[in-house]
Structure 1
Amino acid sequence: MQHSTQTDPVPESPALESATRKAFRRLVPLVMIMFVANYIDRVNIGFAKDALEADSGIGAGAYGLGAGLFFITYAIFEVPSNILLERYGAKFWLTRIMISWGLVSAAMMFAHNEWIFYGLRLALGAAEAGFFAGVIFFFTQWFPNRTRGRANAALYSASTIAAVIAGPLSGALLGMHDVLGLRGWQWMFLVEGLAAVLIGVLVWFRLESQPRDAAWLTEQEKDALTAKLRAEEAERLATKQEKAPSRWSMLRDPQMLLFCFVYFAAQLAQYSVTFWLPSFVRDIGGLSEFMIGVISVVPFAVAFFAILAAGRISDATGLRRTVLGSGFVLAAVGLGVAAVTSPVLAVVMLVVATAGFKVAASSFYVIPQQYLVGALAAPGLALINSIGNLGGFVAPTMMGQVQEQTGSVSGGLLVVAACCVVALAGCALLRYVSPSRAATPETAPSTTAG
């Protein structure tokens, strides 16, 4: 495939600017709320790890496997889910996803042994499959290329907001031992799962699948935004080969394989830290569950500002790969040092690592969003997300086994740091199509097999 790029000096029309501002104000905060609930329900088992071991006999190995099993069904159902999103629209399908995953997450309160735990984690992955890639595709239906980096950054910043909320909230809920006969960890899963169901109902009334459906845009704004998005799509299609490959043959494209690996590395780093962060903090000693939750917030609070800064720099400069690579540098250094130092310094270095892998993950999708066009956009993004998210299976499974065998997760952190270094090298090989098609130092024309 031949990919050439250039900068677009033509100022946007007032109607387009107005439509984009309105869409950002209305849709991005709602999607961020959705992602907050999504992230909390995905990772809250990290706070329940010790309680599950005490009450349900789920040890480190079983915990790591169960945490990772989520990503197996997530990967299996990701592409079909996004094909259905294309067919039925984002409003219906994202509402369905939120309500179903909320119910399954609430059902985690019944995880009284490891087999129920495994089954519910598999069910949660199937229910949630398609959410993130669906939102990324949804953004391509609403935001032109030059503003999509900020939209993606806002989405990823929601995961840091979720972590800030999840720590104290989960810590407080874990303290509700024997209230109405339920253990604290049962209250945590019930309350946080039902919150997702309620947000799903809100989504049905507030989300619109495409600009033409939005009563809050004027006709001029609808026309301007729709025309801009169609023009960008046509321009990208013009740079592709005449006959598009089938959805599954996309994996024969080396760029798609590279996309999958780079995102896999980001997810590997993320879930190596996320599922084990409360345990790292607990190793400091002498802390209550609530204080563990509060301290666990710090890495994600720092990452929040790093993500927003990275999104602005990426959009302002167009240096997508440079911003992405800088995230992997921070992640590799933070994880590597955390593996070989004291508990207190390890937590400090995990702040650095968290900022790094969050910047990498938030900066990544703007590249394949421009690379994939037409009928390949939704399934292509889903394919990258599903394969990349297998890092979420490998990370906790590996970390659990390493901890069981050695009593420490240091060896696992070093392996993940090495993967981040390899991903950093891969960033230099990524290719994308920018909004216009003149070569710049960062986006020089290149040819890749397709």
Structure 2
Amino acid sequence: MPMTTAGRIHATATRKAMLRLVPILCLAYFMSYVDRTNIALAKTHLQADVGVSVAAFGLGAGLFFVTYAFLEVPSNLIMYRVGPRRWIARIAITWGMVTALMMFISNEVTFYIGRIALGAAEAGLYPAMMFMVTQWFAQKDRATAIGYIYLAATLGIFLGSPLGGGLMELDSLGGLQGWQWMFLIEGLVTMVVGLVVLVVLPEQPADAKWLTAQEAAALTERAGAGADADGGHSLRGNMGKAFGRPFLLLIGLIYFFNQITINGVTFNVPSIIESLGISGSFLIGLLSGVTGIGGTIGVLLMPALFRRRPREAFTIGALAVGCGVGAAVFLAVPSPVIRILLIGVLAVLMIGTLPIFWAVAMARMSGVVAAAGLAFINTLGLTGGFVGPYLFGIAESESKDPASGFYIVIVVSLIGGVLAVALHRALRHEDDKTAAAESVVGRQEPVAGREPEVRL
């Protein structure tokens, strides 16, 4: 079927947004992931230099997610008022300052304070980006856009680990330890990125100088940003829509278990690789990038497969169960090479599911409800970011083996698979309710940006 003129305009505008908007978001998210996860490279050095124990490191790594999760919804509601461009820039500049100040960690207490402050500074970044996706892209294009944004995270793992390892080789330069140089330089770079976001990022399609007026209007119309389908510009009367729908709670719970896996594994990959008999900060950082390679494959491959066969809950559940199977195989094989490759396979599954996950959530929210609802899901999920490293730290303390946390991965992945069955039913109920409400009004013009949903 030939594409209409309006369709061609929208397709051109979408390509431009993918090329001009998404890279700016990727730049901010890249530095977010580098600053958040390179603490793993400093694990053994903090233990030797300032006395941060294994259990304390696990607690501190997880404390980041306590303030991050607690402030997600308030942060995103402020973002809805002031606009994503200024708010994302503020977040980047603030967390860059905190990262640089972490060079002054001197004991376990200051380590905890630094991680708590970093979580507070970065709160709201990701849901703000997801909100921008709902404002710029039609539902059918969102999984692809989110996949590209997650590509920045996987590159942050792949490139950030060897870059951080390289910075740590500056040990003793200027009287500073290598980990102090890593925090200082990465923090300063992040502050510069925040200024770039403030200057370059368009607030909405109409503000983009690289779009024509027709293209900006097409993006706004197809994304649904021109009409608040959930009603109003505040949460008054919309609390249930933002927080109380069963599918939102189930998505939040599945994300919670997913984040236990991702963060538990990510924060401990360097120590797991070191336990395999590998030494040298740069080499360990380089091999730790296997999660970045796997994640990159996942965020590019999974959205493409999902777009061909958009089976929502089934895909999320299958990938969760696959993580459990991969962890079991990891524990069963002794070969260091195979174990490193299996970490990459796990990354394909656990990170590759995220673009699909958020596209499913976005399909059923818009406006201020999307701003609050997406942050609410992230709040539930990121609690797993605290639980994951903490549980891995406890497991390692008891067993003296960094890889013992993979038993935790098996359990939480299987729970996620079971919850996906309930999610399937909740999505069907939500879509049936939406269809019933629309049938009451009769045959009317479709709500802008609403795409037909494909069920299991």
How far apart are residue 198 of structure 1 and its match? 0.7
Give the alignment's TM-score, normalised by structure 1: 0.90
Which shows bigger deviation, 373-382 or 74-83? 373-382
- For 2:394 and 2:223, the matched residues in 1 are separated by 47
1:101 is matched with 95
**What code does the residue aligned with 1:421 have?**
L
The match for 1:349 among 336, 342, 351 is: 342
Q: Does 1:383 align with 2:376?
A: yes
Q: Does 1:360 align with 2:343?
A: no
How far apart are residue 405 of structure 1 and its match? 2.0
Which shows bigger deviation, 301-310 or 223-232? 223-232
Counterparts in 2 of 1:141 and 1:56: CA distance versus 1, 3 Å: same
Counterparts in 2 of 1:228 and 1:337: CA distance versus 1, 3 Å: same
Q: Does 1:415 align with 2:408?
A: yes
How far apart are residue 302 of structure 1 and its match? 2.7
The match for 1:115 among 100, 109, 117 is: 109
**What code does the residue aligned with 1:399 have?**
F
Q: What are the ranges of 5 or more consecutive residues in structure 2 without an aligned counterpart?
A: 435-448
Which shows bigger deviation, 385-394 or 342-351? 342-351
Task: Provide the secondary structure at the position in 1 that maps to 2:279.
Answer: coil
The match for 1:291 among 283, 296, 299 is: 283
- For 1:319 and 1:249, the matched residues in 2 are separated by 24
Per-residue deviation, residues 364-412 of structure 1 (Å, max 9, x unmatched): 1001111223321101100110110111100111111121122124553
Task: Provide the secondary structure at the position in 2 that maps to 1:287.
Answer: coil
- For 2:321 and 2:61, the matched residues in 1 are separated by 26
Indicate if the aligned counterparts of 2:73 and 2:376 stay in contact, CA closer than 8 A: yes
Task: Provide the secondary structure at the position in 1 that maps to 2:401.
Answer: coil
Matches within 5 A, 1:237-276: 237=230, 246-247=238-239, 250-276=242-268
1:91 is matched with 85
Give the alignment's TM-score, normalised by structure 2: 0.89
- For 1:174 and 1:359, the matched residues in 2 are separated by 30
Counterparts in 2 of 1:227 and 1:426: CA distance versus 1, 3 Å: same
Indicate if the aligned counterparts of 2:34 and 2:156 stay in contact, CA closer than 8 A: yes
Task: Provide the secondary structure at the position in 1 that maps to 2:262.
Answer: helix
Higher relative contact order (CA 8 A, sep 6+): 1
Task: Provide the secondary structure at the position in 2 that maps to 1:141.
Answer: helix
1:402 is matched with 395
- For 2:454 and 2:139, the matched residues in 1 are separated by 16
**What code does the residue aligned with 2:367 have?**
G
Counterparts in 2 of 1:249 and 1:436: CA distance versus 1, 3 Å: closer
Higher fraction of helix: 2
Indicate if the aligned counterparts of 2:99 and 2:183 stay in contact, CA closer than 8 A: yes
Indicate if the aligned counterparts of 1:150 and 1:311 stay in contact, CA closer than 8 A: yes
How far apart are residue 184 of structure 1 and its match? 0.2
Indicate if the aligned counterparts of 1:330 and 1:355 stay in contact, CA closer than 8 A: no
User: Identity of paired residues, percent?
Assistant: 34
- For 2:191 and 2:275, the matched residues in 1 are separated by 35
Counterparts in 2 of 1:307 and 1:130: CA distance versus 1, 3 Å: same
Counterparts in 2 of 1:233 and 1:144: CA distance versus 1, 3 Å: farther
Counterparts in 2 of 1:286 and 1:212: CA distance versus 1, 3 Å: closer
Q: Does 1:314 align with 2:313?
A: no
Per-residue deviation, residues 177-222 of structure 1 (Å, max 9, x unmatched): 1101110000011111111111111111110121111122111112
1:374 is matched with 367
Which shows bigger deviation, 171-180 or 250-259? 250-259
Please provide the CA RMSD for this pair.
2.3
How far apart are residue 14 of structure 1 and its match? 2.1
Counterparts in 2 of 1:362 and 1:343: CA distance versus 1, 3 Å: farther
- For 2:316 and 2:405, the matched residues in 1 are separated by 23
